[in-house]
Structure 1
Amino acid sequence: MSTEVRQQAANALLTAYQGWSIEPLSEQIPDLDLTDAYAIQLAQVKYWTERGATVKGHKVGLTAAAIQRQLGVDQPDYGHLLDTMFHLEDQPIDLARFQQPRIEPEIAFVLGAPLRGPGVTAAEAAAAVQYIVPALEIIDSRIQDWKITLIDTVADNASSGGVVLGSTYGEPFATDLRLTGCVLRHNGKIIDTGAGAAVSGSPLNSLVWLANTVGPLGVTLEAGHVVLAGSLTAAYPIADGDTFSAEFGGIGTVTATFGKDLS
C-alpha cells in the first residue's frame, strides 16, 4: 500500500478525535493489511510527538479470550501510551475526551531497565521490571459502533484512550501473576472477576510478546515506561458519573471516577 494511502487513513483517524467516528478502515480499504495498520498507527504517533506529546509506554491488547470473543479478533496487538493519556486516581475524568469509552482492569509493569527484542526470554523480561501497579485502562474507538477487525484496532492505536494507575506499588514477582485475582466493581457493585492467567496465560507473557514484537521494528521498551499487560475481564461501557474500581490480590486497588471536576 502506498505511503499516501496510509497517511490518508491516519489523517482520517486523527480528524475523528475531534468528536466523530469513521467507518471501519477495513471496509474503506479492502486490501489493508497488518503492516499497513501499524504504519498508520505510527503516523499518528509521529503527529502527536511532533506537537509535544511524549511516549510513556505501550499497551498490549486483545490478550484475554473474553476480549477476543467480544471484539471478534484472534490475536494480541499493541499501541502507544502518551503522557496525555494518564489520569490521576480518584480525580474526575471528563468523558468529553472520549467517544465510546469502555473500561478494563489490568496489571501494569513499570520497567526499571530497557528491554529490547528479538529473543527476550521470560527471565529477562522479569528482570527488567521494577514494580507492578494496579491499573484501569480506558479503551476507546474512533471506529463507528466498535465495528472493528484486528486491522481497524491496530490502526486506531489499539483502541487506546486513557490510563489510571493505582497508588500501590508491588514487588514484581512476590506473587504468581497467573493466579492473581481481580474483582471489578461498578458504582460499588461487583460486575466481573478474573485472574492473571486470562492474560496470555500470564501477564508476563504479554511483556515478552511486546518486547519481541517491537524490537525488530527498532523500538526499545525504555526504563520508566509503563506496559499494560492486557485485561483480566471483559470491557464495560462508561457513563458520566460512574465510578469503577479494580482490586487485585496481593497488589492493591485502583479507582477511576468519571465526570467534570466542579471544584
Structure 2
Amino acid sequence: MQLTKIQDFAAQLAQAEATKVGIDPLIVSDPKITVDDAYYIQLENIKKKLEAGQKIVGKKIGLTSVAVQKMLGVDEPDYGHLLDTMVVENGGTIDTKDMLQPKVEGEIAFILKKDLKGPNVTAVDVIQATDYVVPALEIVDSRIQDWKISLRDTVSDNASSGLYVLGGKPTKLEDINLELVGMALYQNGEVSNTGVGAAALGNPATCVAWLANRLADYDITLKAGEVILSGALSGMVAANPGDNFVARFAHLGQVSVNFK
C-alpha cells in the first residue's frame, strides 16, 4: 500500500479518536488492505503520538481466544502499543465521554525484567524474562463505529486499545500455574463472566512468546520494564456511566475501575 494511503487511513482513525465519532470500517473503503498494511497504519499513528510526547510503556495482545478468532475469521492474535497516557490507577474513575464505546476485559499482565526479541522465543523464554505478573483490566475501545471490525480494522486501530488498569500484588511466576489461574469479572457486584489462564492460547506465556516473535517482523523488541497485557481470559463487557468493575484472580488479587 502506498505511504500516502497509509497516512490517510491513520489520519481518519486519529480524527475519530479526537472527535469521539466512529468511522466506517477501513476495509469498506479499501477491501484490499492486508494485515501488514494494517500494522503500518497502526505504527503511523503511534509515531505521531511519540512525536507529540507520549511514551510506549508496553504492548497488548488481542484475539487470543479461539472463539473470537473464529468469529473474525482469523487464525492468529493481534497486538497494539500501550502508551503512558493509557494508564488508569487501580480503583480509579474513567469518564465515558473520553471514550467512544468502551468494553472491559480481565487479563494477566506481565512485567518484564529482560528484553525479548524474536524469532524463536518460547514460553520458557518468556517465563525467564518476566519479573512478575499482576491482574489487569483492559478497557478496549474502537474508533470503528459499532465495533463492526475485521482483523485488519482492529489492527489498524492499535488493536482496539483504550486504557488499562493494573492491580493486585506482584506475583512471581514460580509461585503459580498460569494455565490454572481463575478469574471472575464483576459488574456492579454481579458476576459478569469468568475465565482461566488456559483461555489465552492455552497459556498466557504462550501469548507473550507469540508477540515477541510477531514483532520481530517489524524489528521491534519487547523491553525490560514493559507491561504486556497477555489477552482476555473471557469476553468483553460493555461499560456504561455509573458502572463498577472488579476482576478477582486466584493467587493474584484483584483490580477495579469505575465509570462516570
State TM-score, norm by structure 2.
0.97
Aligned counterpart, 1:169: 170
Q: Corresponding residue for 1:250?
A: 251
Partner residue, 1:31:
32
CA distance in 2, matches of 1:244, 1:116: 34
Question: Contact 1:66/1:233 (CA < 8 Å) preserved in 2?
Answer: no
Indicate conservation of the 8 Å contact 1:214/1:220, yes or no. Answer: yes
Kindly report which structure 2 residues correspond to 1:22-171, keeping only aligned pairs within 5 A, or say none: 22-68=23-69, 73-171=74-172
Q: Secondary structure at the match of 1:190?
A: strand
**Identity across aligned pairs (percent)?**
46
Q: Is the 8 A contact 2:186 2:247 kept in 1?
A: yes
**2:211 matched residue in structure 1:** 210
Which deviates more, 58-67 or 16-25? Answer: 58-67
Structure 1 CA distance, aligned partners of 2:73 and 2:87? Answer: 28
Change (3 A) 1:59 1:256: same
TM superposition shift of 1:68: 3.3
Contact 2:92 2:256 in 1 (8 A): no
Structure 2 residue runs of 5 or longer lacking an equivalent are none
Q: Partners of 2:123 and 2:63 in 1: how far apart?
A: 20
Which deviates more from structure 2 when the two are superposed, residues 242-251 or residues 67-76?
A: 67-76
Q: For 1:224, what is the secondary structure of its paired residue?
A: coil
How far apart, in 1, do the equivalents of 2:125 and 2:172 lie?
A: 16
Shift of 1:66: 4.1
Does residue 2 of structure 2 align to residue 2 of structure 1? Answer: yes
- Distance in 2 (CA, whole Å) between partners of 1:250 and 1:53 is 33
Distance 1:71 1:166, change over 3 A: farther
Letter of the structure 2 residue corresponding to residue 125 of structure 1: V
May I ask how many residue pairs the two structures share in their alignment? 259
* Runs ≥4 residues deviating over 6 A: none
Distance apart, 1:93 and its partner CA: 1.2
**Which stretch has the larger CA shift, 68-77 or 238-247?**
68-77
Deviation at 1:73, TM superposition (A): 4.3
Q: State the TM-score, normalized to the length of structure 1.
A: 0.96
Q: Equivalent residue of 1:173, what SS?
A: helix
Shift of 1:72: 5.5
SS in structure 2 at match of 1:30: coil
Q: Encode CA deviations 1:171-201: one digit per residue, 9 max, x unaligned.
A: 1231111111111100111111111110011
Aligned AA (2:84): D
C-alpha distance in 2, partners of 1:39/1:26? Answer: 15
Q: Structure 2 CA distance, aligned partners of 1:226 and 1:103?
A: 18
Distance 2:26 2:253 in 1: 39
Q: Is the 8 A contact 1:70 1:234 kept in 2?
A: no
Distance 2:6 2:168 in 1: 40
Q: In structure 2, how many angstroms separate the alpha carbons of the residues matched to 1:166 and 1:14? A: 29
In 1, the alpha carbon distance for the partners of 2:218 and 2:43 equals: 11
